[in-house]
């Protein structure tokens, strides 16, 4: 398997995509709004991808957080609340908020499974900081690290009950960024001691099966390289200090926080210790460039991916979608 996860251009595979993916055998795929029209189309697409590789546990990812970050949208699919809704309830009734987050994630997981999607880029464990860019904003579970970790754990558990794997993001923390990494490189000047707050939720959820590393330059750890391309951040902070040993992917390698071609960016991230690069645009020429720079998953990365995806093969006997969503709504109504 190639150490890359790719986006797709549209609602179905093109002939060029089919030939390319058959040749390179990527680690997985990620879907966006441009790939999601209705239930029948989306299920047909995910079935096609699995049929192409003959892998029942093929990772098919999506960013379906709720709120403003949702690829599967109404009226075809129901809306889900943003992280801030659970933050508000937690400050009033912590246990109710944890159960609401778990039921929400359970319902979300059931919806994704029905579409053939088995990995969701959630929970977001960034600790919200005053004055930071609103790219985090209402997506966050709060500004207190233990609360963020507690709600994040509930989200992981809820999705896992439906056979959907969660990806903790954005390691080692996006909450202090003053600019949007989609547009430029954030530089964080906080001290190592101050950054302990940002690390805490990731440390508490260090056993998560998958993680995503941000494109942020942390002066306290590596003043020369963004975190996704820094051996110091990946080895000493994420693998060492946090103790995360799950499958580690980059954030979208196409973000303007990075310089160089998509392939050069990907090669730098893999050399720094990421298991896999995440290329999201669906642009075919960029995918060819990534493929020229990226080799196979390392044996350790392939093992980590296998352990993660084992969680998609479960016997599911939890509450149905309607029941889980109703319980979530009942609890959120307490605020």
Reported as type and span, the H/E element at residue 158 is: helix 145-160
Is the CB of residue 255 less than 8 Å from the CB of residue 215?
Answer: yes
Q: E strands along the chain, which residues?
A: 2-7, 26-31, 60-62, 119-120, 165-171, 187-188, 210-213, 217-218, 247-252, 276-279
Write down the H helix ranges in the chain. Answer: 15-24, 39-53, 83-92, 94-114, 145-160, 196-204, 231, 262-272, 284-293, 299-309, 321-332
Please state, in angstroms and rounded to a whole number, the distance separating the CA atoms of residues 131 and 189: 14
**Cα separation of 94 and 249, whole Å?**
31
**Tokens standing for 55?**
């892998």
Phi, psi of 91 (to 5 degrees): -70, -20
Residues with catalytic function: 182, 251
Question: Which one, of 57, 10, 102, lies nearest residue 310 by Cα?
Answer: 57
pLDDT of 330 reads 98
The topology (CATH level 3) of 2-332 is TIM Barrel (3.20.20)
Q: How far apart are CA 108 and CA 177, in angstroms?
A: 28
Q: Mean pLDDT in runs of 10 for the chain (335 residues)?
A: 98 97 97 98 98 95 97 97 97 98 97 97 95 86 97 97 96 89 91 97 98 97 97 98 98 94 97 98 97 97 96 81 97 96
**What was the pLDDT predicted at 177?**
87
CA 9-13-16 angle, to 5 degrees, is 85
Per the structure block, which two tokens stand in for 239? 């693998």
Give the residue among 233, 12, 247 at the shortest CA–CA distance from 119: 247
- Cis ω before 95 (30° cut-off from 0): no
pLDDT at residue 131, rounded to an integer: 83
Neighbours of 322 (CB within 10 A): 10
Cβ atoms of 274 and 250 closer than 8 Å: yes
Contact 181, 135 (CB under 8 A): yes
What's the pLDDT at 130? 86
| C-alpha–C-alpha distance, residues 101 and 109, integer Å | 12
Give strand pairing partners of 213: 171, 250
Give the whole-angstrom CA distance, residue 124 versus residue 201.
10
Q: Model-level pTM greater than 0.85? A: yes
DSSP class of 46:
H
């Amino acid at each position: 398997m190639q150490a890359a996860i790719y986006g797709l251009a549209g609602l179905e595979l093109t002939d060029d995509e089919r030939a390319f993916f058959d040749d390179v055998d990527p680690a997985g795929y990620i879907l966006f709004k441009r790939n999601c029209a209705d239930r029948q189309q989306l299920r047909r697409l995910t079935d096609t991808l699995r049929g192409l590789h003959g892998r029942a546990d093929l990772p098919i990812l999506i960013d379906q957080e709720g709120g403003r970050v949702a690829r599967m949208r109404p009226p075809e699919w129901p809306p889900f609340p943003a992280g801030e809704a659970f933050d508000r309830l937690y400050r009033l009734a912590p246990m109710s908020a944890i159960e609401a987050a778990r039921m929400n994630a359970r319902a979300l997981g059931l919806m994704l499974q029905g579409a053939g999607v088995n990995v969701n880029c959630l929970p977001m464990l960034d600790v919200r900081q005053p004055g930071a860019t609103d790219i985090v904003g209402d997506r966050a579970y709060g500004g207190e690290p233990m609360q963020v970790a507690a709600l994040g754990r509930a989200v992981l558990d809820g999705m896992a009950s439906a056979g959907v794997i969660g990806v903790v993001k954005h390691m080692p923390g996006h909450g202090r960024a003053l600019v949007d990494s989609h547009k430029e490189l954030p530089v964080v000047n906080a001290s190592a001691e101050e950054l302990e707050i940002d690390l805490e939720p990731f440390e508490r959820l260090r056993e998560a099966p998958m993680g995503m590393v941000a494109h942020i330059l942390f002066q306290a750890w590596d003043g020369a390289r963004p975190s996704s391309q820094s051996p110091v951040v990946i080895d000493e902070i994420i693998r060492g200090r946090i103790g995360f040993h799950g499958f580690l992917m980059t954030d979208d390698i196409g973000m303007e926080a990075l310089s160089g071609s998509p392939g050069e960016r990907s090669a730098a991230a893999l050399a720094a210790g990421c298991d896999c690069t995440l290329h999201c645009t669906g642009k075919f020429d960029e995918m060819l460039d990534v493929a020229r720079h990226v080799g196979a998953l390392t044996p350790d990365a392939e093992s980590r991916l296998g352990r993660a995806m084992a969680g998609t093969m479960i016997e599911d006997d939890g509450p149905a979608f309607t029941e889980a969503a109703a319980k979530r709504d009942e609890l959120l109504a307490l605020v």
